[in-house]
Amino acid sequence: MNHADRQQEIERTMRRAPVIPVVVIEDARAAVPMARALVAGGVPAIEVTLRTAAALEAVRAIAAEVEGAVVGVGTVLSEADLRAAYEAGARFAVSPGATSRLLDAASDIPLPLLPGAATASEAMALLERGYRYLKFFPAVPAGGAKLLAAWAGPLPQLRFCPTGGISAATAGDFLALPNVLCVGGSWLTPADKLAAGDWAGIEALARAAARLGA
Interatomic CA distance for residues 159 and 115, integer angstroms: 12
Per-residue pLDDT averaged across 181-207, rounded?
97
| H-type alpha helices, 143-190 | 144-151, 171-175
Question: Do 76 and 82 form a contact (C-beta atoms < 8 A)?
Answer: yes
User: Does 146 participate in catalysis according to the annotation?
Assistant: no
Q: Does residue 187 carry a pLDDT above 80? A: yes
- Mean pLDDT (the chain) is 97
Share of residues in the chain with pLDDT > 70 (%)? 99
State which amino acid sits at residue 74. G
Q: Which among 171, 162, 165 has a CA at the least distance from the CA of 205? A: 171
Choose, from 67, 122, 135, 193, the residue flagged as catalytic.
Answer: 135
* Whether residue 1 has pLDDT greater than 90: no
Residue 38 is predicted with a pLDDT of 98
Give the chain's domains with CATH numbers.
3-207 (3.20.20.70)
pTM score, whole prediction: 0.97
Annotated catalytic residue: which of 11, 26, 47, 79? 47
Q: Which of 25, 17, 6 is nearest to 43 (CA)?
A: 17
Kindly give, in sequence order, each residue whose CB lies less than 8 Å from that of residue 153, ignoring residues fewer than 6 positions away: none
Residue 214: pLDDT over 70: no
Is 80 exceeded by the pLDDT of residue 213? no
Residue 111 DSSP symbol? S
Q: What is the tens place of the pLDDT at every residue in 10-44?
A: 999 999 999 999 999 999 999 999 999 999 999 99
Nearest to 183 by CA among 167, 163, 197: 163
Sheet-wide strand order for 45-49: 113-114, 92-94, 70-74, 45-49, 19-23, 183-185
Residue 9 a catalytic site member: no
What is the mean predicted confidence (pLDDT) over 55-60?
Answer: 98
Q: Find the mean pLDDT for residues 80-99.
A: 98
Per-residue model confidence (pLDDT) at position 152:
97
